[in-house]
Amino acid sequence: MTAKRVPPAQLAPQLRDAITRFNRRVRRARPVGDLTVTQLSALTSLKLAGALTPRELADIERVQPPTMTKIVAKLEERGLVQRTPHPTDGRQVILAATAGGLAVLDQFERARNEWLASRLAALTEEERDTLRRAAEILQQLARA
């Protein structure tokens, strides 16, 4: 397993195409009546952070504030997220996952990963390790 020299200009389209297709495939595999990938990602971030303002959540999710307004609105409709006014700053809002939100999250955590996890399980240990390292690098690139 020697590292091959990879010109960035050549890797860029390869990586882009691979991720575009992979992403389409993953997004399609959502249970009926379930949350979308975007909504799940936001709810998960909220769960991890405990409580956030819309702006903070938008930053974490790499999305513009108005987009986050919409995402949160959908989550709120279902009672998965709660808006409470900021104690001292009247402009701000505090978002938090409700008990129902956490329950739904836990409940679907397994289901939503089922397709991907089963595919991953079919890979070799080494391939999974490659993906794990790639995931870290991609997060870092997304942050740049």
Partner DNA sequence: CCAGGCTCATTAGTTAAGCTAACGATTGTG
Partner DNA sequence: CACAATCGTTAGCTTAACTAATGAGCCTGG
Q: Where does this chain bind DNA (CB under 7 A)?
A: 20, 24, 28, 36-39, 53-55, 62-74, 83, 88-93
Q: How buried is residue 81: exposed, middle or buried, by Cβ count under 10 Å (0-12/13-18/19+)? A: buried
We find the least distance from the C-beta atom of residue 6 to DNA, in angstroms, to be: 26
Map residue 62 onto helix, strand or coil: coil
Q: Does 36 bind a second copy (CB under 8 A)?
A: no
Which of DNA, a second copy, none binds 93 (CB below 5-8 Å, type-dependent)? DNA
Among 77, 87, 91, 125, binds a second copy (CB under 8 A): 125
Show the site string, 103-122: x = touches a second copy by CB under 8 A, - = not.
------xx--x--xxxxxx-
Distances, alpha carbon 11 to alpha carbons 8, 69, 87, 140, 141, in Å: 5, 35, 49, 17, 14
CB atoms within 10 A of CB 132: 10
Q: Which residue, 78, 127, 121, is CA-closest to 98?
A: 78
Q: How many residues bind a second copy (CB under 8 A)?
A: 57
Q: Are 101 and 47 in contact (CB under 8 A)?
A: yes
Which of DNA, a second copy, none binds 92 (CB below 5-8 Å, type-dependent)? DNA
Q: Which of residues 47-86 bind a second copy (CB under 8 A)?
A: 61-63
Which of a second copy, DNA, none binds 84 (CB below 5-8 Å, type-dependent)? none
